[in-house]
Amino acid sequence: MMPITQSLLSLSRVQKRAISIAIDVLGLWFAAVLAIWLRFGESVFPITDYVAAIVLLPLMALPVFIVQGLYRAIIRYIGYKFAITVLTAVSTVFVLWAAAIYMLDLRFPRSAIVIAWLLSLFYIAATRLAARWLLAEYRPPIKKLRRRKVVIFGAGDAGKQLLNVMNKLNRIQVVAFLDDDANLHNHEIGSTPIYARNALGRLIEKQHITQVYLAITSLSASKRKQILDWLEDYPVKVMTLPAMDEIISGKVSFSDIREVEIEDLLGRDPVPPQPELLTQCITDKVVMVTGAGGSIGSELCRKVLRQSPKALILYELSEYALYSIEQELKKSDNLGQIRLIAMLGSVLNETKLRRIFEQYGVQTVYHAAAYKHVPMVEHNIQEGIVNNAFGTHTCAKVAAECGVQNFVLISTDKAVRPTNVMGASKRLAEMALQALQVEFPATRFVMVRFGNVLGSSGSVIPLFRKQIADGGPVTVTHKEITRYFMTIPEAASLVVQAGSMGQGGDVFVLDMGEPVKIDALARKVIKLSGLEVMDETGNGDIEIRYTGLRPGEKLYEELLIGDNVDGTEHPRIMKAHEAFEDYATLMQHFAELEAALERFDYEAVLQVLAKVVSGFNHTSSVVDYLCNSHKDVKQA
């Protein structure tokens, strides 16, 4: 940066305005004098007879310029709207000045007034543009600094705004735009050419492009995925702007740019929610969310608040998680007069649950409290079964006894033919609600089963990205492992809608789309980071290392136990018909489980689970930290 530019930028705002005013005064005087010389065709013509009019011009101009905001604008960010302001301000000044000349009977050639107006208009605009170039557009040569060459995909409004931002960054050079609109090809935006997408390979080869910025904010998820799949074949890092509904201000800034997320790779277009299903169990009702501080629980709280309940009770075992969601909801614009009650407690505390249901008259419960991490539950079998199965039964039974109208359980695809204790415990929770439905027909019990949610604790994409940033390796448990994925907001919205369906005892299954192979996902993330997957000979940038399935983990998740499934009024919600045991028989099995857990006899626990849970097949040895094989830890 030049010394003069540094000096100007270091001045105070008052000093900058004083310089602007001085430049304008001198320029207007000179424009008036030059107009006279041009009018008479000679520069030596005496101007003493016109001094009064000449002096009056800047005196009348400065108040108008101040009112019009010519000294408030930040020079580095002026645009076409500012040009209109200049035209308006200068024209207003000359109308007033001409009127004053005639009213005060001052001498000044009438034709010279028009010439002076044109000269002043040019001068005022030119000085602003020159200052803008000096302060914002000028780039001195950067010694020993290699500028990163990039391409913007999308020559629409978002792309233009992104170009404006990037032009201020010395380390980045926008080489070209890519766009599928043939009408834009062979045109330019700010001297930056626009090409068809098939020009990318040539640009990479000749210009050494390292990054592509996807700047089409109105794209559907499926079309965004198509573009990302196409870009995967090129050795560039891909960045993207958020969707239009995420850009609250409507103006793109560099901080809006993010790396590609898994939802971009899934290409799943959301289905608009059905309003009547969102409001049915919530509006003007007392609603309680258990596990309110978790990934799904907290999003359920946000969704519930938007539907105007009478009161919302946040029930959570973790103090920090409860505090976090309470503080967030207190700041929400949707809170209004809704009563918000944050309560610490366990779903196993029958006495406390009964007091809450009776005192507040709870009408709808969304039960999201659960331990969900498969390996963690494998190492802590007792807590997993007690919390997930016994806790759900306790909470649901007390709710029914207290007259709660709707009880919605958040379940999982891991409950289907489970190979781990966590999945089995969630199937037991489903079976408890199915059995309770027969015992308490006045309460409508609903179960909603879905797969992995994006953004929850332990999500795979942030882990992959951190491993790539560390230089690898990227770890995948198995080359063939697949999973279903859904965003947290979509999952919560579908849970609320499914909870309003059915007559009770229904198991609803969410349409998770196509399953995703985790190995392929890891390879996409590496390639879209502008790197290559290391092959067997060691060529490439990032190694993919297969660590083996963890205890209780299986290759493929399922959503249905049997084939008996019906559609519903919502295109992404299906209803499964799953077999279950009567309440008395199920309680006998619960008693057997409880007795085995108290003895820390986990082999017996697995035997009971195999007898009760359809398709249960524990695929690993017992790894619980308190099993008999770990008795020698103290001696070690």
Domains by residue range for the chain, with CATH? 3-137 (no CATH), 148-260 (3.40.50.720), 275-453+486-512+558-612 (3.40.50.720)
User: What distance in Å separates the CA atoms of residue 68 and residue 500, rounded to the nearest whole number?
Assistant: 57
User: What distance in Å separates the CA atoms of residue 420 and residue 414, rounded to the nearest whole number?
Assistant: 8
pLDDT at 130 over 60: yes
What secondary structure does DSSP assign to 566-623, as a single string?
EE-SSTTEEEE------HHHHHHHHHHHHHHHHTT-HHHHHHHHHHHSTT----S---
pLDDT for residue 62: 83
Q: pLDDT per residue over 191-212, tens digit each? A: 789 999 888 988 888 888 888 8
Mean pLDDT in residue range 346-356: 97
pLDDT at 630 over 60: no
More confident residue, 245 or 127: 127
pLDDT at 439 over 90: yes
Show the tokens assigned to 441.
């027909």
**Which residues contact residue 492 at a Cβ distance below 8 angstroms, ignoring those fewer than 6 apart?**
296, 299, 300, 302, 303
Residue 121's pLDDT band, with cuts at 50, 70 and 90, is confident
pLDDT for residue 340: 96
pLDDT at 143 over 70: no
pLDDT at 547 over 70: yes
Show the tokens assigned to 294.
């978790």
pLDDT at 324 over 90: yes
Torsion, Cα of 219, 222, 223, 226 (10° steps): 140
Amino acid at 558: E
DSSP state for residue 387 in the 8-state scheme: I
Residue 596's pLDDT band, with cuts at 50, 70 and 90, is very high
3-state secondary structure 529-542: ECCCECCCCCCCCE
More confident residue, 4 or 18: 18
C-alpha to C-alpha distances, 32 to 18, 20, 26, 129, 189, nearest whole angstrom: 21, 18, 10, 21, 37
User: What distance in Å separates the CA atoms of residue 78 and residue 75, rounded to the nearest whole number?
Assistant: 6
Residue 6's pLDDT band, with cuts at 50, 70 and 90, is low
Structural element, H or E, at residue 67? helix 51-68
Mean of pLDDT over the chain = 82
Residue 396's pLDDT band, with cuts at 50, 70 and 90, is very high
**C-alpha Rg value of the chain to the nearest Å:** 35
Structural element, H or E, at residue 62? helix 51-68
- 8 A C-beta contact, residue 165 and residue 253: yes
